[in-house]
Amino acid sequence: MSACSQHGAHAARLAGLRALLARRNLAGCLVPRSDEHLGEYVPPAAERLAWLSGFTGSAGLAVVLADRAVLFTDGRYMLQAAAETDPSLWERRHGQEEPPERWLAQAAPGARIGYDPMLISGSALARFASAGLEMVPFAAAGNAGPGAERNPIDLLWADRPAPPLAICRPHPLAFAGEESEAKRARLGAALAAGGEDAAVLSDPASINWLLNIRGRDLAFTPVALGFALLFSDGRLSLFMAEEKVPPETLAWLGPAVTVAPPSALGNALAALSGRRVRVDPAGTAVWFADTLTASGAAVSAGPDPCRLPKACKNETEQAGARAAQLRDAAALVRFLAWFAEAGGSGKETECSAAARLLAFRRALSGFAGESFPAISAAGEHGAIIHYRASPASNRPIRANEVYLIDSGAQFPEGTTDVTRTVWTGPAEPAPELAERFTRVLAGHIALATLRFPEGTTGPALDALARRPLWDRGLDYDHGTGHGVGSFLSVHEGPAGISRHAEAVPLEAGMILSDEPGFYLPGAYGIRLENLLLVQPTEKNPADGPSGKPFLRFETLTLAPFARRLIRPELLSPAALAWLDAYHTRVRNTVGAALSAPERTWLETETVPFL
Amino acid sequence: MSACSQHGAHAARLAGLRALLARRNLAGCLVPRSDEHLGEYVPPAAERLAWLSGFTGSAGLAVVLADRAVLFTDGRYMLQAAAETDPSLWERRHGQEEPPERWLAQAAPGARIGYDPMLISGSALARFASAGLEMVPFAAAGNAGPGAERNPIDLLWADRPAPPLAICRPHPLAFAGEESEAKRARLGAALAAGGEDAAVLSDPASINWLLNIRGRDLAFTPVALGFALLFSDGRLSLFMAEEKVPPETLAWLGPAVTVAPPSALGNALAALSGRRVRVDPAGTAVWFADTLTASGAAVSAGPDPCRLPKACKNETEQAGARAAQLRDAAALVRFLAWFAEAGGSGKETECSAAARLLAFRRALSGFAGESFPAISAAGEHGAIIHYRASPASNRPIRANEVYLIDSGAQFPEGTTDVTRTVWTGPAEPAPELAERFTRVLAGHIALATLRFPEGTTGPALDALARRPLWDRGLDYDHGTGHGVGSFLSVHEGPAGISRHAEAVPLEAGMILSDEPGFYLPGAYGIRLENLLLVQPTEKNPADGPSGKPFLRFETLTLAPFARRLIRPELLSPAALAWLDAYHTRVRNTVGAALSAPERTWLETETVPFL
């Protein structure tokens, strides 16, 4: 019943939006999931797409026309989009296989399409414009215009939550590893070397990394939301609600950082007239470049200058990542030991199991929250790649089924993200299921054991993790790995191990996930995820000559892979040797934090195969 | 001595070029290897780069400044460039690791740099312009201007050869598989669907494929050089010296194809005023777009419309490829059998061995020449990736060394390209050498046995062939595979298996090489190359569900891999099974064309490992 009334509300919202579009003489509009920081996680005040459509996934774009409304998302979210949106209102399409601009150019050639310039990047907007559409901003460059020009959703959304105003605090040097002043001097000098006077920073993760601050504006990413201008002399203007910045933080920021409210941003950009300012065309809302250009500044298209340095963790952050992983591993292994008994009992549900894991994590020192909403998925729910158990979807975990748990934690030392897939028993799993599990594991190990020359990009490695599945005509519809922040976002660019990731060379210090999977809709999902740290290799005399330095991965995550689902005869001797060594390492490092029964379970689970 | 006098000539040429540049108030100029078709193989009349620098490789770009001259090439040619050019005149750089525009922007920021608009693509020119250089065309758009505006090399090059004028002949339907009229109708309709009135075709391979004609203007690629305009109604204007088109060919072309001399091109483009014309920004000289724009036509940037359809061989071409490979295999296997006796005798040289292979090929019915200059490389010469034995470099092939032979043939049915690496004996090869050979073979087999989902691109597969080498810190500085034409160019786009290849999905009917290698400069080179044909897979019930169709590779090339260099214990059981099955296939298919002693050798060489 509540689902019905929600669908009724969504029909009314869509009708309201269409009425406003018609009044503005627009054939349609874009409603992206992103907020003005174009990030993956957004505060409730920015959940416009969910308010309009019901879809709550972390990536999506709605295209609303007078007679059609289409929700574009990707392979991770196709099933979730179908479950959350009303088919009588919404078509759902795969935005990677069918880009929205291409669909829209065919459905409404040359049409007038409205967009909010604070919610779309210059690159994304250019794709729609290149497809021949007439793109009309809701508000002109500069400060927002009168009400009629505002984002129509904001006009319709009566009970829209207030923006978050959590306090922003120092991120001590013991975790950050480099003074903000040194970071700003380094990045400012690089701007100067490129003839740039300043750079727009619109990604809160970049600003929080650069200033060594953290906040609590988002549920899972410990950032304070804001904007910034970094100048080539290392000074920085921070645009953030002043009540979020207490005296302690102001002192920590130091005299070279000024703080002003976000409403001062338009004037600050206008003051850059005649200067050359870098704006990330893909990562920053197009409003910034438009406003700078309108003010007489020269816009220099280039990546967010924090993006690559932030991704390459320094020695302190690397040591922190290892410490965070070891601490987090105790919670996950205790959970897995508990689940081995309780999981198939029929008494637990997806929600109760997730709560149990969270309780184990809450007992960890320094635990600062989950790094994303845990995916606790039994049976067929595991095939919904980014499933989130809710009171409506929650179901008991039953005997003899597959259970997938993908979760992570935030610690000041670092961010974790780990997925394990287990079998509840007591019967033995079907050989076909175990074969598929083992092929996913073989792909995981293929990446974990890789050595590769400097200059290799993430997209070039994606197929290595897929091959064991490809050999049987199987695949998974998501990337193999994403970058992970250091007490920041669990999804961090620029590097990723995916055909859709940017082709940036992997560099020492980057942390990436390794998470191949296999999904059988309506039946089960398998995903096996560890985090890997890119490391230089030592020269091995047996390697012979090579002009290029090589890199390797250090596995950071410590948790056993489900023994009952492994068919060792399908793994190569080298892969089995890696697995045995990894399990030995898990035993030796995590064991000390466990109770005697937990340790016994871990020892049984990790008996060597060879 | 002759080398010295050549270097003296090159110094004088460089000085002459610099004098002309100074007179035109240019700080420098670009001298690309390409001709006005931007192809890989060029007639002697277009060998400007070789005339200026001495470098004869098939890919390169010279940047000449008043005080520095730099030759940019790639990993295949770095050693050759060093050997062929005078270090007192030329610096050599790796253009993929250090793009020429980036080097030039640092060496001469903002400088006035001359270029020939007939010899550079719009995309390449834009990279120089974006780097802040002032790019000055030698001749304005439209017909060539007066002498002072012409390419200075053409003014200096007194004994420049005449352009080729070979006769152009029909390529019968028994080989082409589809009528030109059908191809033109199909491609013209696609232009019309995209709102385009015409397309510029500047790649002779595209024109020869589209018109089902072949010529002899180039030494290794059986094309007639020319330009064309394809119209959306399927008509075509061919710009080709009229003496190259005899009545028989005119009749074959039919009434919808008009022939005019290349000098009529400027006026023909001017007549497109007001029309929308597709020009390939990466594959067509920028002169075309400039001339169209100056004439009031709308230039639509898009790929050469023949590129993808030409790459996807039809059933007739696929059958032809198999027939050509089988015929060619007889020559190569006879050569390898002969070499097993003669190679280590000390009586043969690189040139005599290549001549022997060519003699075996000349005996084949339908043989229409080599598809590229054969690489016959003993010992250390094998490490020069595109080595070509010349009278000056030729050396005896000695006992107990590595010999590499990379060669190919043109047949009306198809084009071949194959590389084998052998050991001359009589001693056993060093275990380390055999290990490296076996790792190259493992990489070759990893690709040959691959199944992959539709939509997968070539760059995504490159690492699969490198992994066995990467595992030991080894690599090779060239792509793993390139597309191959059908009685056309041995290097054909758009697909390739290389990090530098375009990210186009592989499609059924494409022919690609699979040629990993390993090179130890000063010692030896290993490369193992077969051609693979992309094929759909049959559905295997054991595969389980998968939303996507899968593709696989059919190995076309038939020749044994050198048994003495294989260490079977380093290959997986699956790889050994593939190798045994492949060798059995070689014995069963090629054996019939051999003499009894040759067949005996082949049988010994291909005894199963398992």
Give the ipTM: 0.91
CB burial of B376-390 (b: ≥16 within 10 Å; e: otherwise) equals bbbbbbbbbbbbbbe
**What DSSP element (H or E) covers B580?**
helix B573-590
User: Domain with A492 in it: what CATH number?
Assistant: 3.90.230.10
What lies within 8 Å, CB to CB, of A588 at 6+ separation is none
CB contact under 8 A, B550 and A459: no
CB contact under 8 A, A499 and B460: yes
The alpha-carbon gap from A409 to the nearest alpha carbon of chain B, in Å, equals 32
Asked if A470 lies within 8 A of B450 by C-beta distance, the reply is yes
CB contact (8 A) between residue B463 and residue A456: yes
pLDDT at residue number B4: 47
Which of B461, B499, B543 lies closest to A472 in CB terms? B543
Is the Cβ pair B544, A520 closer than 8 Å?
A: yes
Residues B302 and B429 in one domain: no
Answer yes or no: do A527 and A548 share one domain.
yes
Between positions 423 and 482 of B, the ones with CB within 8 A of A are 432, 436, 450-453, 455-457, 459-464, 467, 470-475, 477
CB contact under 8 A, B544 and A432: yes
Residues A91 and A129 in one domain: yes
The string over A526-555, giving b where at least 16 C-beta atoms fall within 10 Å of a residue's C-beta and e elsewhere, is bbbbbbbbbeebeeeeeeeebeeebbbbeb
Interval A169-193 mean pLDDT: 98
Query: What's the pTM value of the predicted model, to 2 decimals?
Result: 0.92
Contact criterion met (CB < 8 Å) for B432 and A544:
yes
The verdict on a CB contact (< 8 Å) between B460 and A464 is no
Query: Which residue on chain B is closest to A97 by alpha carbon?
Result: B455
Q: Is residue A164 part of a domain?
A: no
Kindly report which listed range (A344-353, B4-13, B51-60, B82-91) carries the lowest average pLDDT score: B4-13
Q: Which of A74, A98, A454, A472 to mutate to test the interface with B (most CBs of B within 10 A)?
A: A472
Name chain B contacts of A572, Cβ cutoff 8 Å.
572
A444/A588 same-domain check: yes
User: Over B334-375, what HEC string results?
Assistant: HHHHHHHHHHHHCCCEHHHHHHHHHHHHHCCCCCCCECCCCE
Per-residue pLDDT at B147? 44
Percentage of residues in chain A having pLDDT higher than 90:
90
Best of A96, A464, A518, A539 to disrupt the B interface (most B CBs within 10 Å) is: A464
Residues B522 and B586 in one domain: yes
Q: State the Cα–Cα distance between residues A224 and A169, nearest whole angstrom.
A: 9
Confidence band (pLDDT; 50, 70, 90) for B7?
low
Distance (Å, whole) CA A368 – CA A371? 9
Helices (H), B405-496: 431-448, 462-470
Residue B476 scores a pLDDT above 60: yes
Tell me if A18 sits within 8 A of A29, measured CB to CB.
no
For A:516-535, CB contacts with B below 8 A are 520
Average per-residue pLDDT for chain B? 94
Burial class from Cβ neighbours inside 10 Å (0-12, 13-18, 19+) for residue B518 reads: buried
> Residue A426: is the preceding peptide bond cis (ω within 30°)?
yes
Q: How open is the CA angle B545-B546-B549, to the nearest 5 degrees?
A: 130
Average pLDDT over residues B167-187: 98
- Would you state the pLDDT for residue B145? 39
> Which contiguous run of DSSP H or E holds residue A467?
helix A462-470
* pLDDT tens-digit readout, A237-287: 999 999 999 999 999 999 999 999 999 999 999 999 999 999 999 999 999
Sequence-ordered list of residues with C-beta below 8 angstroms from that of B352, at least 6 positions apart, any chain = none
Burial class (CB in 10 A: 0-12, 13-18, 19+), A251: exposed
A120/chain B closest Cα distance in angstroms: 25
Look at B459 and A460 and tell me if their CB atoms are within 8 Å.
yes
Query: Which residues, 6 or more positions from A159, have their beta carbon under 8 angstroms from its beta carbon?
Result: none
pLDDT of amino acid A333 = 98
- Whether A129 maps to a domain, the answer reads yes
Number of domains in chain A: 3
Kind plus residue range of the DSSP H or E element containing A609: none
Residue A165 lies in a domain: no
Q: Does residue B439 sit in the same domain as residue B572? A: yes
Residue B250 tokens, joined: 């005119």
Helix (H, G, I), strand (E, B) or coil at A331: helix
Q: Is residue B166 part of a domain?
A: no
Given pLDDT bands bounded at 50, 70 and 90, which one contains residue B150? confident
**Nearest-angstrom CA–CA distance, A581 and A153:** 55
| B610 in any annotated domain | no
Q: What residues of chain A lie within 8 A of the CB of B452, using their CB?
A: 463, 470
Residues 6+ away with beta carbon under 8 Å from B566: B434, B437, B438, B441, B579, B609
The three-state secondary structure class of B575 is helix
Mean pLDDT, chain A, rounded, equals 94
> Are A141 and A238 within one domain?
no
- Per-residue pLDDT tens over the stretch B523-570: 999 999 999 999 999 866 556 666 689 999 999 999 999 999 999 999
Side-chain-side CA neighbours of residue B553 (13 Å): 26
Q: Which domain holds residue B140?
A: 3-156
Going by C-alpha positions, the residue among B446, B470, B436 that lies closest to residue B555 is B446
Residues B201 and B295 in one domain: yes
Closest CA to A350 of A384, A396, A381: A396
Whether residue A224 contacts residue A414, with contact meaning beta carbons closer than 8 Å, is answered with: no
Backbone angles phi, psi at B275, to 5 degrees: -100, 165
**Residue of B471, B499, B537 with shortest CB distance to A460:** B499
Is the same domain home to B225 and B372?
Answer: no
Confidence of residue B424 (pLDDT cuts 50, 70, 90): very high
Q: Which residues contact B457 (CB under 8 A, 6 or more apart)?
A: A499, B495, B501, B502, B503, B504, B505, B506
Residue A494: is the preceding peptide bond cis (ω within 30°)? yes
Give the one of B460, B472, B548 whose C-beta lies nearest to A459's C-beta: B460
Report yes or no: B98 at the A interface, CB cutoff 8 Å: no
Q: Give me the mean pLDDT over the B416-438 stretch.
A: 98
Give the mutation candidate from B433, B474, B477, B518 for the A interface (greatest A CB count, under 10 A): B474
- Shared-domain flag, residues B25 and B113: yes
Mark yes or no for CB contact A540/B473 under 8 Å: yes
In this prediction, residue A96 carries a pLDDT of 87
Select from A173, A199, A187, A274 the least CA-distant residue to A234: A187
Beta strand residue intervals within A290-345, DSSP E: 298-301
Band of pLDDT at residue A546, cut at 50, 70 and 90: low
Q: Among A88-97, A407-416, A487-496, B5-14, whose mean pLDDT is lowest?
A: B5-14
The last residue of one of the domains, among B156, B189, B212, is B156
Q: In Å, what is the CA distance from B202 to each residue of B116, B199, B270, B279?
A: 16, 10, 17, 9
Cα separation of B115 and B28, whole Å? 9
Q: CB–CB of A171/A317 below 8 Å?
A: no
The pLDDT-based confidence of A542 (bands split at 50, 70, 90) is: low
Higher pLDDT, B367 or B75: B367
A496 CB within 8 Å of a chain B CB: no
Instruction: Please report which helix (H) or strand (E) contains residue A332, including its range.
Output: helix A315-342
CATH assignment of the domain containing A221: 3.40.350.10
- Mean pLDDT over A514-523 rounds to 97
**Do A265 and A409 share a domain, yes or no?**
no
> Is there a domain that residue A78 lies in?
yes
In a domain? residue A502: yes
Confidence at residue A6, expressed as pLDDT on a 0 to 100 scale: 64
Taking an 8 Å cut-off on Cβ atoms, the answer to whether A544 and B467 are in contact is no
* The one-letter amino acid at A47: E
Q: What is the pLDDT of residues B380-418, one digit of tens each?
A: 999 988 888 889 899 999 999 999 999 999 999 999 999
Alpha helices in B95-228 (DSSP H): 100-107, 122-130, 152-156, 173-176, 180-193, 204-211
Determine the pLDDT at residue B96.
87
In angstroms, the CA B233 to CA B191 distance is 9
Last residue of a domain, one of A122, A156, A190: A156
Choose among B277, B269, B267: nearest CA to B299. Answer: B277
* Rounded distance between C-alpha atoms, residue A288 and residue A143, angstroms: 11
CA distance B352 to B35: 32
Helix axes of A573-590 and A596-605: crossing angle, nearest 10 degrees:
170
Whether B148 has a pLDDT exceeding 50, the answer reads no
Nearest-Cα residue of chain B relative to residue A446: B467
Contacts of A471 in chain B (CB under 8 A): 451
Cβ-Cβ contacts under 8 Å, A473 against chain B: 451, 537, 539-540, 543-544, 546, 550
Q: Give the pLDDT score at B400.
A: 98
CA A37 to chain centre: 14
Is residue B121 a part of any domain in this protein? yes
pLDDT at A362 over 60: yes
> CA–CA separation, B312 vs B334, rounded Å?
31
Alpha-carbon distance B323 to nearest alpha carbon in chain A (angstroms): 29
Answer yes or no: is pLDDT of B3 > 60.
no
Rounded to a whole number, what is the distance in Å from the CA of A357 to chain B's nearest CA? 33
- Determine, for residues A463 and B463 on separate chains, whether the beta-carbon distance falls below 8 Å: yes
Select from B94, B196, B454, B467 the residue whose CB has the most chain A CBs within 10 Å, as the one to mutate to test that interface: B467
Give chain B positions within 8 Å (CB) of A546.
473-475
Contact across the interface for A544 and B474, Cβ inside 8 Å: yes
pLDDT at B140: 60
> How large is the average pLDDT for residues B221-249?
97
What is the model's pLDDT at position A2? 40
| pLDDT tens digits, one per residue of A115-167 | 999 999 999 999 999 888 999 999 765 544 344 478 999 999 999 999 999 99
Closest listed residue to residue A589, CA positions, set A552, A559, A554, A553: A559
Domain boundary pick from B92, B127, B156:
B156
What separation in angstroms does the CA of B113 have from each of B30, B65, B108? Answer: 7, 9, 9
What is the spatial distance between Cα B467 and Cα B421, in angstroms, rounded to a whole number?
20
- Count how many pairs of residues, chain A against chain B, have C-beta atoms within 8 Å: 87
Residue A126 CB coordination number (10 Å): 15
Query: Locate tokens 């040429």: which residue?
Result: B13
**Which residues of chain A have a CB within 8 Å of the CB of B432?**
544
According to the model, what pLDDT value does residue B467 have?
Answer: 98
Best A78, A454, A467 member to test B by mutation, with max B CBs in 10 Å, is A467
Give the pLDDT band of residue A541 (cuts 50, 70, 90).
low
Same domain, A530 and A583: yes
- Name the DSSP letter for residue B10: H
Q: Cβ-count burial of A96 within 10 angstroms (0-12 exposed, 13-18 middle, 19+ buried)? A: middle
